[in-house]
Amino acid sequence: MTLTATAVPSTDLDPFSPEVLADPLPAHETLRDLGPVVHLAAYDVYAVARYAEVHRALTDWQGLRSGAGVGLADFSRETPWRPPSLLLEADPPRHDAPRSVLAKILSPRKLRGLTPQWRADADVLVDRVLAAGAEFDAVTDLAEVFPLRVFPDAVGLGESGRENLLPYGDFAFNAFGPREGIVAALEPTMPSVIGWIGEQCRRENLSETGIGAQIWAAADRGDITPEQAPLIVRSLLTAGVDTTVTGIAAVVHAVATHPDQWQRLRADRGLLARAFEEAVRLESPVQTFFRTTTSEVEIGGAVIGPGRKVLMFLGAANRDPRRWPDADRFDLDRDPSGHVAFGMGLHQCVGQHIARMEAMAVLEALLDHVQSVELAGVPRRHLNNTLRGWESMPVRIQAA
């Protein structure tokens, strides 16, 4: 069947330019205003930036597949830089068993046992930060430190080499964009980092009680194959740190720039979960992902032919005024459910419960010890082709 198409506007806007990566919000507004589907001439790909079309693309795994890669590279034509992720870059049926195994291991019920230790670790960290003075960097002193302590422990990594996790995740998410620019600059530094990551995925290098061991136990039961187990562990190590760092920093930034909302949290901790969801809606740690059409697909009245890349702007969708009134405001009276910061549908982030638990532990510790928090300087963004985070965020606190 041939579908009737509406005209698709085209633009020279480059979503991977340093200027857009530093401040994507004007570009997002431009893309939303141009139409439900826009052609990006710089890369000859299609883009969706409005909430309705991003949600539709995320949930139509049959028409818009992930197996050709969720970055600019098309795996049906190009060799990926590392074996594709069995979770992010695979479609059913190849995606099903790994997803099922990890979803059970990372379920809220299974993870609940980690909460007391993570809460104690957060208290120790916040005490140490506060002891150093009234000002600190919410990124380098807090948001990066906590996940690098508790997440590798949970997976079952040894103490040595954990400093490789952040550079590896940064490179992996950058690699979803063009090879020139950031990727080309980082590539020479990566061989030793990639080698270390690969070694940590081996059964013998993981503790016997962590999440990594549970993945290998699933291979022993036949739920997945022995070849799949290290790739699933690698997926955890790829996506489990950088995104959580940015999520924690997003909450701190939100309350530091909305002091009235911090006081509401101090008065009512029942709002904590909403605060996290609203902060990740507003900042969208993961800004973009690609899909590839499997056949002729209709989106927003536009018809896109088979084998074409479609860039989904999750960050733009999460600030679309068609879906979110006063979308640029951090608002604890808002119901942020339905945001696409963790994706949506079949490929929704399987590790999102860990990110929530880590952020909740840090927020609880801050609420116990901090009366007020505000920016003490201009935050500096960290440029990444896929993630939107910070290099630095100076804050000033008043102890409770």
This model's pTM is above 0.75: yes
* Residue with tokens 């022995």, as numbered in its chain: 226
Is residue 95 domain-resident?
yes
In whole angstroms, give the CA distance from residue 40 to residue 144. 34
Q: 5: pLDDT confidence band, cut at 50, 70 and 90?
A: low
Contacts by residues 121-124 (CB-CB < 8 Å, ≥ 24 positions apart): 121/146, 121/149, 121/150, 121/361, 122/146, 122/361, 122/362, 122/364, 122/365, 123/365, 123/368
CA distance between the termini of the chain: 66
| Ordered strands of the 64-65 beta sheet | 10-11, 38-40, 45-48, 309-313, 288-293, 64-65
Q: Tell me: pLDDT of 3 over 60.
A: no
Look at the block and give the residue holding tokens 């006081």: 263
The three-class DSSP label of residue 389 is strand
186 lies in some domain: yes
pLDDT of residue 400: 80
In a domain, 1, yes or no: no
Where residue 264 falls among pLDDT bands split at 50, 70, 90? very high
Q: 36: domain range?
A: 10-399
Residue 231 scores a pLDDT above 70: yes
239 pLDDT band (50/70/90 cuts)? Answer: confident
Q: Tally the domains of the chain.
A: 1
Quickly state the pLDDT bin for 77 (edges 50, 70, 90): very high
pLDDT at 1: 37
Mean pLDDT in residue range 96-116: 93
Residues 38-57 have a mean pLDDT of: 98
Concatenating the DSSP letter of every residue in 140-158 gives: IIIITHHHHHHHHHHHT--
Please report whether residue 263 resides in a domain.
yes
Q: What's the average model confidence in pLDDT over 67-76?
A: 96
Q: Give which of 312, 311, 253, 244 is closest to 282, Cα–Cα.
A: 253
Residue 4 counted as domain residue: no
At 399 the pLDDT is 87
In this structure, what token pair is assigned to residue 389? 């985070």
Average pLDDT estimate for 92-100: 95
CA distance linking residue 59 with residue 42, whole number of Å: 26
How confident is the model over 232-255, as a mean pLDDT? 94
d(CA 334, CA 77): 44
The mean predicted confidence, pLDDT, of the chain is 95
- State the Cα angle at 164 between 162 and 166, rounded to 5°: 100
pLDDT higher than 60, residue 15: yes
Say if residues 190 and 170 touch (Cβ distance below 8 Å): no
Question: What is the C-alpha to C-alpha distance for residues 238 and 71, in angstroms, rounded to an integer?
Answer: 15
pLDDT for residue 294 is more than 50: yes
- The candidate with the shortest Cα–Cα distance to 110, out of 237, 7, 209, 220, is 209
**Within a domain: residue 233?**
yes
* Per-residue pLDDT, 4: 46
Domain contains 204: yes
For the chain, what percent of residues have pLDDT higher than 70?
98
Cis peptide before 93 (omega within 30 of 0): yes
CATH number for the domain including 73?
Answer: 1.10.630.10
Contacts of 125 (CB under 8 A, 6+ apart): 142, 145, 146, 149, 362, 365
